[in-house]
Amino acid sequence: MCLVLAASATAYAAPGMTYRDHLVYSHTSGNITVHATSPIEAEDAMRLFHSEFDRVRSEILHEDELKLTLPIKVFIWDDEILYHTKVEVAPDHGGACSFQVKTRKTKHHEIHLCPSALADQSYDEAVLNMLPHEICHILQYEQFQRDKLVAAKPKSKPRAKPVTATYPLAVAEGLAVLAEQSDQAMRIRLLGKTLRQTKGELATNLLQVTHYHQVSDMTQFYAEAYSFSEFLRSRMSEMQFTSFLELLRSGKTVPAAFGTTLGYKTTRAASKALNYHWRQHALLQAKLLAELEKRKASDAAKTDKDKKNEKATPLPPTQPQNAPLRRALAKSA
């Protein structure tokens, strides 16, 4: 989830309480501070922050040199109710488990994570998904910030004005989901199912979403954003993808930037290709995943059956020549 908020005050928790009453441990390294409920959580999150920051910067955005212009505060909430009082910081935004926000007054980024809000994931899994996702949004902000500084007149002193532009929402969120360390099978499966039931211009529809409040089904939106960005990356080399993102930052639409990067004659042709090829790509992904899962299930069933047979007719223990076979069977089980 992402939000660049150009508004005001950050009011912390219940009256008379500050976040320090709950997140009593903090750990600082350079311009990063992590607030958590235990020193282990704070230190682990800091280590993860540094490694994920480098990974997302180079693997997702291909930006080895990109620097942070603002400090970052990371808050790891153990209590969903308290976490939701933080969502007030970003009122347009329903961040169910994590969000990133930048406030003009405080001149820093905040990342708020609530690992317990993801019921189907362990604490470690949840942090591994949320933290890189939010880091990716901050890096996207820094890309726009840097482009703005470069664009300043040569004689004037570059000033870091808050950036208001972002990538089109589907790309911003798609890249952030690509940064996650999570298993994307659920998203691939969901989209495959939707695509088999619907016709229409999926890319055009997705790109019309410009605000979170336009989205009625967030799970579906994230599945589409992920699949769309993954498709775009699969169609371009690293260099092409970098210049595609540059074109988006200069204000081009997704079909125009896609068309320019891949040499389509018109934006209309590029848009048609996006709709058609993304659908094919997503359907193929879903089909391959289903085949893989089917094979895994039948392998597991076969192994179960073999185990039962082995129990039913135990190999005579007195014959030593059976030992290697037993070992092999035990291994394959």
Interacting residues toward Zn ion by CB under 5 A: 1-2, 173, 176
Q: Which of 201, 333, 168, 331 is nearest to 277 (CA)?
A: 201
SS3 250: coil
Identify the sign of the CA torsion 21, 22, 26, 32.
negative
Cβ proximity to Zn ion, 48 vs 138, nearer residue = 138
Q: Where are the alpha helices (DSSP H) in the chain?
A: 39-55, 80-86, 123-151, 169-179, 185-197, 202-207, 218-235, 238-249, 254-262, 267-312, 323-332
What are the Cα distances from residue 246, in Å, to 17, 54, 161, 165, 257? 44, 20, 19, 13, 9
Which residues share a beta bridge with 113?
76, 98
219 neighbors 94 (Cβ within 8 angstroms): no
Provide, rounded to whole angstroms, the least separation between the CB of residue 286 and Zn ion.
23
Cβ proximity to Zn ion, 173 vs 224, nearer residue = 173
Cβ proximity to Zn ion, 2 vs 128, nearer residue = 2
Provide, rounded to whole angstroms, the least separation between the CB of residue 59 and Zn ion.
17
Provide, rounded to whole angstroms, the least separation between the CB of residue 4 and Zn ion.
11
Cβ proximity to Zn ion, 178 vs 286, nearer residue = 178
Provide, rounded to whole angstroms, the least separation between the CB of residue 99 and Zn ion.
7
Cβ proximity to Zn ion, 222 vs 278, nearer residue = 222
Provide, rounded to whole angstroms, the least separation between the CB of residue 251 and Zn ion.
22
Provide, rounded to whole angstroms, the least separation between the CB of residue 174 and Zn ion.
9
84 neighbors 97 (Cβ within 8 angstroms): no
Cβ proximity to Zn ion, 173 vs 230, nearer residue = 173
108 neighbors 72 (Cβ within 8 angstroms): yes
